[in-house]
Amino acid sequence: MKKGDKSERVEAADFMNDCASGFPFEALFGTTPNVCLFVKNRDGRFVWGNAFLVELCGAASLDEIVGKSDFDFFPRDLALDYRREDETVVATGTPIVDRPWLVCNAKKTIDWFLSNKWPLRGRTRRDEAVETAPILGVVGAMRNYRRFDKTSSERKNDLRDVVDFMLSNYERKIETRELAELAFLSTSQFERRFRAIFRMTPSRFLAEIRLRASARLLTSTDLTLAQIAIQTGFFDQSHFGKAFRAEYGTTPKKYRAAYGTPRRESESGDAEERR
């Protein structure tokens, strides 16, 4: 055993001891199938995880993951997004519920997951509120829709079939009415239930799916910006550019230059980027 490996495991053990007492890590991790579960410290390094996480990272055991970060296992552009999200949860103390994410597995293929992250707080004194405890890191859970089994009662009472449809058809125009029909609800009933479950509107959820897909195409293909816009369901390249800048704080072209393989865009594409 390397000296560094031992120190990382000691740090992880200390971290877990500092967490608020009563958090059921072992019970949760040991009884939840088809879900990737993990704990990270404030620096974004893994201190705990289940077998699904080990599989995603392409590791042989949890020991190979503890003390390392997303940058050690996933493409840099994806790792940066994961890290930014972790930092937001730590900074605001606000959980993120069922956010669509692209995740790279050990075979280097990309699949869709729904990601949930909660701030993980430390111990408090008896007279202190939990909200005042320091945030030590994040605890997260991700569900892979391709591997998530559904019972008949679950199919009737949740919106997984709707989300499956959105993940498989985001490249084309999708009407809210069409989604409501899949859920056997009126449009107004569907919108209320969707917001209650995902904390956002169906249109915003679909926009996030499209943005994650477009970011991945920017870094993993040499498609033009216009082609990516069409393939990810945006009206045109201008619409794509504006939505991308609003989400990522930079243009698609600059994002590609930073995290992918730059390509020579057409003159119209360059002009669009300068707007």
For the chain, the domains span 3-147, 152-265
Q: What is the tens place of the pLDDT at every residue in 81-121?
A: 899 899 999 999 999 888 888 888 767 777 888 889 999 98
Please tell me the least confidently modeled range out of 1-5, 31-35, 126-130. 1-5
pLDDT score of 251? 96
Identify the band that residue 266 occupies on the pLDDT scale cut at 50, 70 and 90: very low
**Rounded to an integer, what distance in angstroms lies between the CA atom of residue 271 and that of residue 250?**
15
User: Domain spanning 152-265 has what CATH number?
Assistant: 1.10.10.60
**Residue 232, helix vs strand vs coil:** coil
pLDDT score of 101? 86
> 176 near 203, Cβ under 8 Å?
yes
Q: Is residue 8 predicted with pLDDT exceeding 90?
A: no
Written as one letter, the residue type at 49 is G
pLDDT score of 267? 36
pLDDT score of 151? 43
**Rounded to an integer, what distance in angstroms lies between the CA atom of residue 136 and that of residue 120?**
6
Identify the band that residue 213 occupies on the pLDDT scale cut at 50, 70 and 90: very high
The proportion of the chain whose per-residue pLDDT surpasses 90, expressed as a percent, equals 45
Class of domain 3-147: alpha beta
* Mean pLDDT for all residues in the chain: 81
Q: Tell me whether residue 7 is exposed, middle or buried, using C-beta atoms within 10 angstroms of its C-beta: 0 to 12, 13 to 18, 19 or more.
A: exposed
Tokens of 99: 């956010």
The proportion of the chain whose per-residue pLDDT surpasses 70, expressed as a percent, equals 75
